[in-house]
């Protein structure tokens, strides 16, 4: 069998002895890839927005924002406050998890005042009349190096009186 090309082993390269498993590895990897893509289509990796609402006798706070993100993504969070009763001095306080590793690009409408409330960002929104709705839009971008899970807490105050606390879990994929 001198005419067999060098380095060709007929059992292995022609009869495929010991290579039966090769197509199966390919199929398994392609299956895993398909599952990964299906999960992506099912919004497992973001960034579809969802609304989570918290109520108190005085007000309702609904946050409409994605709960799953990826590093570098630009996203919007809408804070809707519906006043069931008069709120003299509405103030939203954001936990550090809202801004740690995330850039806040724009706030609309601009709050009357901004402050640090025990190290947490605080927006003074002013007076909200009974029955009125106040929408606050925040435009964010996840920093490219940020990833992991976190709980973002938002507290609504009337002056110094806590009206409600809103907490949501967010996952950021790398």
Partner 1 sequence: MDIAIRALILYLFVFLLMRVMGRRELSNLQPFDLVLLIVIGDALQQGLTQSDYSVTGAMIAVGTFAALQVLTSYLSYRVSWMRPVLEGHPLVVIQDGKVIEKNLKRERITVEELAEEARQQQISSLEDVKWAVVETTGAVSFILRKSS
Closest distance of CB 139 from partner 1, Å: 16
Q: Quote the least distance from Cβ 173 to partner 1, whole Å.
A: 11
Nearest distance from residue 144's CB to partner 1, in Å?
4
Q: Where on the chain is the footprint of partner 1 (CB under 8 A)?
A: 3-5, 7-8, 10, 12-14, 16, 19, 22-23, 25-26, 29-30, 33, 71-72, 144-145, 174
Least separation in angstroms between CB 96 and partner 1 = 21
Nearer to partner 1, 33 or 162 (CB): 33
- The 3 state secondary structure assigned to the chain is CCCCCCCCCHHHHCCCCCCCCHHHHHHHHHHHHHHHHHHHHCCCCCCCEEEEEEECCCEEEEEEEECEEECCCEEEEEEEEEECCCEEEEEEEECHHHCCCEEEEEEECCCCEEEEECCEEEEEEEEECCCCEEEEEEEEEECCCCCEEEEEEEEEEECCEEEEEEEEEEEEEC
Nearer to partner 1, 3 or 118 (CB): 3
**Between residues 17 and 115, which has the closer beta carbon with respect to partner 1?**
17
């Amino acid at each position: 069998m001198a005419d067999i090309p060098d380095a060709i082993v007929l059992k292995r390269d022609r009869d495929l002895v010991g290579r039966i498993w090769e197509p199966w590895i390919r199929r398994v990897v392609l299956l895993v890839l398909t599952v990964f893509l299906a999960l992506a289509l099912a919004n497992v990796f973001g960034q579809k927005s969802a609304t989570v609402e918290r109520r108190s006798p005085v007000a309702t706070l609904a946050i409409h924002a994605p709960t799953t993100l990826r590093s570098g993504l630009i996203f919007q969070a809408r804070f809707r406050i519906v006043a069931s009763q008069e709120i003299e001095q509405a103030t939203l306080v954001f936990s550090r998890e809202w801004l740690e590793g995330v850039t806040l690009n724009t706030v609309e409408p601009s709050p009357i005042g901004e402050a640090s409330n025990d190290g947490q960002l605080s927006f003074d929104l002013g007076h909200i009349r009974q029955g009125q709705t106040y929408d606050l839009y925040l435009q964010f971008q996840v920093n490219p190096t940020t990833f992991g899970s976190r709980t973002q807490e938002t507290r609504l105050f009337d002056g110094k009186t806590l009206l409600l606390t809103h907490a949501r879990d967010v996952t950021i994929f790398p």
